[in-house]
């Protein structure tokens, strides 16, 4: 009897460790005009690796690959959106240049990134800031949509795109 209980508990724990926590926010896609402006603000080139943390339907990495020839990586916690992103990349003929990871953006290895795109709530940006400053190399650019990092790290450039704000920082 003890072995059965231990086996069942072990199976339950194994199942739980493979499940990701539910996102604390609802997916809201960035309008394509904002995506285009964010990538332009970051001066994306074919030499860049563009990470989108909380990548939703994949439009940012896909656009970076289509328009600039960059490599793109999206990290998304919702499995259905990862599948949708992969479908979108295939339809856009850039599946060889983009990768979508089903995972928690706070656990993502962002060290290869030269550009990081974020459309997150302020508390999430605050939680992510130490990782960005620690893991990104000098010259890497960060672009946010909507919110910034507050007065402790003001953006270098801010733009209004039809009433929506985007902001840029460069790791020094």
User: What is 31-88 written as a DSSP string?
Assistant: PHHHHHHHHHHTT--TT-EEEEET-TTSHHHHHHHHHH--EEEEEES-HHHHHHHHHH
pLDDT value for 26: 79
99 in a structural domain: yes
User: Residue 138's domain spans which residues?
Assistant: 29-170
14 in a structural domain: no
Give the relative orientation of helices 59-68 and 32-41 as an angle to the nearest 10 degrees: 60
pTM across the whole model: 0.86
20 in a structural domain: no
150 in a structural domain: yes
100 in a structural domain: yes
Domain harbouring 86, CATH code: 3.40.50.150
pLDDT value for 88: 98
Structural domain total, the chain: 1
Tens of pLDDT along the chain (172 residues) come to 443 333 333 444 343 444 444 446 678 899 999 999 999 999 999 999 999 999 999 999 999 999 999 999 999 999 999 999 999 999 999 999 999 999 999 999 999 999 999 999 999 999 999 999 999 999 999 999 999 999 999 999 999 999 999 999 999 9
């Amino acid at each position: 009897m003890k072995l059965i209980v231990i086996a069942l508990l072990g199976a339950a724990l194994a199942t739980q460790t493979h499940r990701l926590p539910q996102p604390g926010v609802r997916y809201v896609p960035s309008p394509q005009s904002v995506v285009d402006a964010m990538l332009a603000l970051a001066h994306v080139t074919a030499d860049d690796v563009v990470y989108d943390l909380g990548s939703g339907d994949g439009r940012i990495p896909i656009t970076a690959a289509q328009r600039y020839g960059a490599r793109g990586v999206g990290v998304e916690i919702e499995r259905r959106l990862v599948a949708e992103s992969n479908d979108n990349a295939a339809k856009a003929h850039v599946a060889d240049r983009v990768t979508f990871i089903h995972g928690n953006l706070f656990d993502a290895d962002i060290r290869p990134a030269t550009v990081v795109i974020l459309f997150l709530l302020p508390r999430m940006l605050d939680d992510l800031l130490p990782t960005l400053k620690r893991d990104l190399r000098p010259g890497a650019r960060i672009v946010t949509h909507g919110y910034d990092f507050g007065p402790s790290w003001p953006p270098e450039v801010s733009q209004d795109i039809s009433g929506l704000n985007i902001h840029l920082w460069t790791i020094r």
